[in-house]
Amino acid sequence: MATDRGRGSGWQHGPVKPEEQPTVADDPWAAYAPDWDDDPAARAYSAAAYRSLIDRLTERGRSVGGMTICDFGCGTGLLTEQLVDEAESIDAVDASPAMLDVLTAKLAGRRWSNVRTGTDIPGGSGTHDLVVCSSVCGFLDDYPGTVRRLAGLLRPGGFFVQWDWEREAADGDGLSRGEIDAALTAAGLEHIHVGTAFELPFGDEVMRPLIGVGHKPLPGQP
């Protein structure tokens, strides 16, 4: 989750000071952050997203073991939690300081020394094996441009994976399958797959988010 990627200010290495606590006016997620991890729907979604990620990587003969990962739009870190034991390192990125404050508290309590947090995309290129974006891309002001930046983080052979709600009406929320395919293609990714990520019954509804997967070409790959 995230809304605005233009407010990056480097890495957050500790809790936000009381006088710096964001308000709903400047951080629209601040009101949700304290109780986010207690939402069973959020936890179920993250677990299902993780399973769908593992399935896609397994199909391509890969695993998250030993990977350097960027979790873009990490929120309070529910997907990071799924990845942390297997990953070499994780850059957990979100525009909401309040959400990151919740994650920072978990880092200290659980001693996840391989996780760094920040409010903007890490610098450099060719530094990561996997970029994951869970329910964030549909909120971005410049979705194609952000995908290009994130794809630039990938080493050759790396993967970009996103989950988002499908937009079915022209004026609806979310992203269409065509928009996802076009953005991943324009970012130079190949072997693109866009489809239903999973079907997860929850209450009277069934969650059916889209998954978009792209692969950074290897040198000399046709």
pLDDT tens for each residue of 32-71:
999 999 999 999 999 999 999 999 999 999 999 999 999 9
Helix (H) or strand (E) holding 76: none
pTM above 0.85, yes or no: yes
Averaged over 167-180, what is the pLDDT?
Answer: 88
User: What domains lie within the chain, and their CATH numbers?
Assistant: 18-215 (3.40.50.150)
Residue 222 pLDDT level (bands cut at 50, 70, 90): low
Residue 118 pLDDT level (bands cut at 50, 70, 90): very high
What is the predicted pLDDT for the residue at 221? 65
Cα 214 vs. chain centroid, distance in angstroms? 14
- As a whole number of angstroms, the distance between CA 105 and CA 175 comes to 32
The angle, 0 to 180 degrees and rounded to 10, between the axes of the packed helices 143-152 and 177-186 is: 40
Long-range pairs for 175-180: beta carbons < 8 A, 24 or more residues apart: 175/137, 175/138, 175/143, 175/210, 177/210, 179/143, 180/137, 180/210, 180/212
Residue 153 has pLDDT above 90, yes or no: yes
Say what percent of the chain tops pLDDT 70: 88
